[in-house]
Chains A and B, each alone.
Chain A
Amino acid sequence: MTNRERAMNILHYRPVDRLPAVHFGYWGELLTEWADQGKIPRELAIGNGDGSEKDMALDKLIGWDFNWYHCTGSNNGLSPGFETKVLEILPDGTRRIQNGAGIIEKHKPGVTSIPSEDDYLLKDREAFETLYRPKMQYFPERVNVEYYKHFNETRPKDIPIGLHLGSVLGDIRNMTSVVGMSYLIYDEDEELFADLVDTYAELQYQCAKTILETGAKFDFAHYWEDICFKNGPLVSPEIFDELCAKHYKKRCDLCHAYGIDIISLDCDGVVGQLLPTWFENGVNTMFPIEVGVWGDQFEPARQKFGPGMRGVGGMDKTAFRKDKAAVDAEIERMKRLASLGGFLPCPDHRLMPGSKFELVQYYAEQIKMIRL
């Protein structure tokens, strides 16, 4: 049985020989750590992106079967992006940088966390119409049609490959910042934010449609949002549903029309309040099911939505920074969740600095020994 068959069988409640060992990538700093420790070749720590040759080489070294984030898509974002440029260097060395989405970020030397948002360009209707709408137009060069025409022959055959559908609100948040998004939702121009969401969604739909029309076949489709945090969603579920539900439905219906019935969505944080909008409009697979200090989210979702709600994720990655006992406890928990069916255990985000290489290897080995 290939890992592609294993993954798809599990998500469709069909028999499998064993669980596959699935992961969701690594912090760059962790790969550097492992290279410094001599655990992995230095070249695998550099430029190691999801689904890349290096990622798959590292899979073999560690014992993973595949990375769920092995997806492919198109140039479905702002095009051209804004020029990335340093606007200012502050006395302490902090750089104010305008990024490709038009957000001004603060980058501090020696600090590797996600930068803080300092300002943004998309402040009003004029900014949208002059700066952003032109960058959200579909044009044929956005999709590498030639690549997709041959995709079925050239793609890896033994692991699942996803079609990346983009996002509905996550990218918008990245263009406006959390503060900017909040102000735009309540702008005096009451149509502005919906206009922004609708325009971007239409672009992403067109890109997905063009890919699917080439005949390329995918095992699943995937969204990215990251629109929740510890206390729930960044916007009210009502506003989220009003703005976004129709776009999820349209894109998911498109996938269904092309035979894709597993549609996952990447959102960290506590996602429960947005699950109804997602599930009712075609998203049926939670990912990466962050555990955090709030615990498991998958089983409550399964109880609420039934077997139609699948999951990939849910393994508390912080166990890899602890000890074998912590990893064993997670393996037992994963075994239980997997026994519910429709669930692929996977670390609940990219493995972070301090994760012990041998514990990760141990986990991958043990997960593959689980029979359902």
Chain B
Amino acid sequence: MSTELLNEISENLQRGKAKVVKQLVEQAVAEGIAPAVILNEGLLSGMNVIGEKFKTNEVYVPEVLVAARAMNMGVGVLKPLLAEEGVKAKGKVCIGTVQGDLHDIGKNLVKLMFEGKGLEVVDLGTDVSPDTFVQTAIDQNCQIIACSALLTTTMGVMEEVVKKAEAAGIRDKVRIMIGGAPVDDAYCQKIGADAYTPDAASAADKAVELCRELAGDVA
């Protein structure tokens, strides 16, 4: 019964049925299913399917956005309950579009996919200075700094973020990811960042992997 309900949550999330997802999550809570189970096996499971389909062009931006909206409706119901139970995120990321750049559609998509993987995201917005990225990572104990740029004229700021992070002495505990239209893997390697990913879903997979690596190192 609970498996059926969780599958229903997942399927309706994938169809972007936000109101239905909210009702089903409320029902699942009322039926006594643990909030963490509802989150992981209902909501995140559905977002995972969407993420995989986005990578292979089976779904596109609108389908991701409506699914994410449905996910957030469901998470809204669970948030206070998850906090009560001390359920922790899988990692913490600060994300932003680099200084001089106001494009945020790509960054927002990545943020949604990060949340869809159970990561906690500190959204710094747009036009974010290297100092702000680094200081936020320090102040908020982020494992990842994720930088987005859409313009060739602003991608150079990403290298500044790497240098600032090195100067701050945090490179052993913070990984730097980059993405956006003008960047590629060669650029990532050139500036000494840790990962470039070509799309939002891959970025989320990579972020989880990097957080696990860091957790393993700590252990």
Contact = CB atoms under 8 A, between A and B. Distances in A.
Interface of A: 106-108, 111-117, 178-179, 181-183, 185-186, 229-236, 239, 269, 273, 292-293, 318, 321, 352-354
Interface in B109-135: 126-127
A229 B106 contact: yes
Given A106-B126, A183-B66, A353-B153, A236 B59 contact: yes
A232 B180 CA distance: 13
Interface of B: 16, 57, 59-63, 65-66, 69, 97, 100-106, 108, 126-127, 150-154, 180-184, 198-199
B127 A232 contact: no
Contact of A231 (B16, B62, B199): B199
Given A114-B102, A233-B60, A236-B60, A318 B16 contact: no
A236 B150 contact: no
30 contacts: A106-B102, A108-B127, A111-B100, A111-B101, A111-B102, A111-B127, A113-B100, A113-B102, A113-B103, A113-B150, A113-B154, A114-B103, A116-B102, A117-B105, A178-B61, A182-B65, A186-B16, A229-B105, A229-B181, A230-B180, A231-B198, A234-B61, A235-B60, A235-B61, A236-B60, A239-B60, A269-B181, A293-B181, A352-B152, A354-B153
A318 B152 CA distance: 8
A230 B62 contact: no
B66 A182 contact: yes
Please classify the interface of chain B as helix (H, G, I), strand (E, B), loop, or mixed, using the class held by over half of its residues: loop
Given A182-B61, A186-B66, A352-B153, 14 more contacts: A107-B102, A108-B102, A111-B101, A113-B150, A116-B97, A116-B103, A117-B105, A178-B65, A178-B105, A181-B62, A230-B180, A273-B57, A353-B153, A354-B153
Nearest to A27: B153
Which 9 pairs of residues, A with B, have the shortest CB-CB distance? A182-B62, A182-B65, A293-B184, A236-B60, A116-B104, A230-B181, A116-B102, A113-B102, A186-B66
A176 to B, nearest CB: 11
A183 B126 CA distance: 23
A340 B183 CA distance: 30
B69 A183 contact: yes
Contacts of A239: 60, 62
A185 B108 CA distance: 19
A112 B151 CA distance: 11
A186 B62 contact: yes
Contacts of A116: 97, 102-104, 126
A186 to B, nearest CB: 5
Contacts of B105: 117, 178-179, 229
B95 to A, nearest CB: 14
Contacts of B181: 229-230, 269, 292-293
Contacts of B65: 178-179, 182-183
